[in-house]
A and B are shown apart, each in its own frame.
Chain A
Amino acid sequence: MQYWNPSCECMSREEMMKLQTERLIDTVKRIYHNVPVYREKMQEKGIEPGDIKTLDDLKKLPFTYKNDLRDTYPYGFFASPLSEIVRIHASSGTTGKQTVVGYTRKDIDTWAEVTARTLVSAGADKNSLIQVAYGYGLFTGGLGIHYGAERVGASVIPISGGNTKRQIQIMKDFGTTILACTPSYALYMAEEMEELGVKKEDLKLKAGVFGAEQWSENMRKEIEERLGIIAIDIYGLSEIIGPGVSTECHCRCGLHIQEDHFIPEIIDPVTEEVLPPGSKGELVFSTVTKEGIPLIRYRTRDISTLNYEKCECGRTTVRMSKVSGRTDDMLTIRGVNVFPSQIETVLLEFGDTAPHYLLIVDRIDNLDVLEIWVEMNQQLFSDQVKRIEDIERKIRKAIEEILGVSATVKLVEPKTIERSEGKAKRVIDKRKF
């Protein structure tokens, strides 16, 4: 099976634009009438749904920022009543509050459709055994791929993340053909396999769909070599739908965006001007089929480029280049999005002013590790070791709860953390992508 849905994936540009236009017009009407925040945003710009007639009018619409979702936490951007919502997921917000998204039954159906396209691009069919080692839960990774795999008719192994020895055992015994996880976890598995004496020849693995974090071509080569598979980059974010927004095909020359559902733009993150195809800038998405939480011109903060040329695989959908960076300070640690400002929220619980802190991220044996330096201050200090160790433990626990990833906390002397022009540096990322 070459394509899951050739009529959409190989549609002519003309047809695609017609479809996108119709859907955009519908979506704009929907959000204007159902989402007060959007109505206000549009009124501020002096536009009404009737002003949106062509795809070119997209640029008249206001942007949606992650902080908009925080300010209207939890359901402010929902365009459907909760009675129509059948699923809720959440991802990291910029502070302590999560970004909440809701899916109607139709949205779940759309999601299964786009993740099915993703899996088929990686070579999946109904004979595949797909091991989903993305986390299940509020994170969209696990359940997103799961529904797509079922849609294709493949056999799903919903193992979720962690417990690497069991992952490898199952991969070998069950005959897994497609692995879905973060690329760094795939490499970690390869390492663990070596340790356990499991060879790639012992596995039936053919392909991997890897996403949820930034990775390099070198990492791809290493994964492909060590696991004997083809490694496919997939992209998605919960605000847009989750995994399934775009995927590489076997040509591995850009990720095909499912643009009948998600219209991409590349903008200059500073001037907010739309840039011509091929230019490098910030990726912005407008969802045009979603009911639960349709977002218009959502600022992903991911840096990429767009290529509208027809791909060798036969698909005509626009391709985005592998994400090359961020326009904000968001980090991805073991697949989890982390904002340094979240740490500040935690530290404020321990005093009136947050002490200076520094996140040090490293990749040791292919696993991301996070160390957080917190400068000792008068509020945290005590002459008793047990009190300080108690505070250290409480900070660590609170950070784990807010971030969703474990971290080690190190209390350091005041002024240890380097300041540039009075502003403390918040992150040192030692990982090489």
Chain B
Amino acid sequence: MQIGLRAKFVLSLLATTLVWFAVLAVGAWSASRAGEGVLRESEDSLRAQGRAALAERGEQLAALLADTLTNPVYYTDLLSVREAARSTLNQPDVDYVLVYDGQGRVLHDGSRDIPRFGQVMDDPLAPAAIAAHAPLLQWSSERLDASAPIAIGDLRLGGVRVGLSLARTEGVIALESARTRERFRQAFAGPAHVLGLGFLLLALWLVLAGWMVARGLVRPIRELAGNARAIERGRFEAPLESGRKDELGELIRAFARMSDSVRRHHHDIRKLAYHDSLTGLPNRLMFRELLDEAIGEYRGSDTGLALLFIDLDDFKRINDTLGHDAGDEVLIEFAGRFKRALALLDAPAQPVLARLGGDEFVALVSGGNGRTHGERAAISVLEQLKQPFVVGNHSLLVGASIGITVFPDDAHTSKLLLKHGDLAMYQAKQRGKSRYHFFAGHLTQAAAERLDLEHDLREALESGRLDLAYQPIHDLASGQLVGTEALLRWRHPRRGNVPPSIFVPIAESSGLIDALGDWVIERACADCRRWQSALPGMSVAVNLSGRQLQRNDLAERISACLERQQLPAGLLHLELTESSLLHDEQLAFAALGQLRQTGVRVWLDDFGTGFSGLSHLRRARVDGVKIDRSFITDILSDPEDLALASAIIAMAHSLGMQVIAEGVESEAQFALLRDRGCDLAQGFWMSEAIGPDELVQRPRRVLSRSVAALP
């Protein structure tokens, strides 16, 4: 059992009182004992005095009687004897007077008829009295027997005995004791009253102290405890206040300050946990809670909720090209515009905004017709984006794709609602961006598949289920194996091999492309480094996506990778498509320049398929071009393709670039390209893509028998 402070205090007061009472009781007891002792001593003293006085008196009385009685006894004058005896007997404490002769026979006892006359006294005190020749005092429990002989000269006539009662003395003692006791009592009565009053005051004080402690100490402490419990449960109630000047007041104020501090920290932490630090908007966590609440609230009602799932179009590019700070500025600005857009809405309830992460935002518009309100909100947001974002010296137009789902029409749970919102947003993006799209059930399949693939790709990358295959590249003139092109292979557990044409766009759109690209380069470099012992000078080519090129730290990352893998920069070839240069040419060419400075070789992939190939070629300053396979396929049969290929070869050579042909599937193609001066070739005829370890076991050289046959 826990004993409360008040109980302890009251108990301690009680204990103090008891101790005090005990001390007083012991004091009173010892005083009373001392008093009893004094009384006893006083009684003893009184008794001794009384006895001494009685003895003296008895002695005198006996002597006087003996003297008085001498002559009457001598003459046996019984009348006179009686008179003397009577006068003595009349005294209040005289029990008896016995006059006796020399033989101890009673001569007179003061009575009229002397019934004992002539009888020898036989009481216990008699013999000594009879035998005595001098006055004698004998004490019994009840009286003093004073005797004196009666004699004339040496003539012994007899004696007289006087019995003096002790009762009178004892009575006097009792009376005196009673008086003394009364005096004691009176002497003690005053202090006893004072003590009684003291105890009464103490009892009152006890009650008062208990009340004061309860009021002044226990109650504030209990309030503090209650407040602390409320804070523990996360409820920051009105802080305690106290004007008290004492330690408790200080404690309460300190507690209030601490409570305030905890409240602020709690608020901050909560904000950190529930808010997006960049935009100040609620984060995914909070939004999920709010969404759950709203769903719970609106479940069963005829009004709906509309969820807007917003994704900024091409935001990745802003981050990659202008840096994250610029991206952050865009996000902050967008959040502001987003708020304004929704604030302008005439919605029954204030819409909830949140940033789910990256460039994904959501809004929850509640009340009324969900579909109508959602649409209005989407329009309003898109309206806000018509003004360009100014970031530094750049003025950017940022679009957004908005998916709208409606509760309870499209989904019944918050999770599903968010997913459908995401899908609808994806649909909007598919439809051409900067638009909104309502979630429609029939769209779900493709979009869901895409989402699944994205999810699976992420997982594959993280769990190492991706592989690189290498297609050998041979020198056309010597047939010597000089390099390889790294090709990404994804063996999906259910879908089997997924071609890069499917998953690369997904990686690009989901942002996975960065991690994927890094992984490929790292892996390719590592493999190439291993080959060097068996195949010195063996190069490896890696395809770069346009997104990767937009990263302003690309060159640094590649340098770091080369250093890590200890691979000479010249052995790493990067292949870029023409289209990847088209997003932001200036940026792309700058990136190319940086790459070339690191020493890696840069090739243009799929050369000939773009529209502005030549101008790019002039400005890009690449190491070589790869003739697109579409030219090679029909090179033997189509003179135009041959002419184009030959022209590309000639043009590249004239610019100091090398040329590689891909998709060489026959010996004839190989021979023709060799004859036309093409430098390198890859294709099924030489080898399909193989694993890294398999490569070193391959023949180092291919020989075309038909070469000689050609003119």
Answer yes or no: are A and B bound together in one complex: no
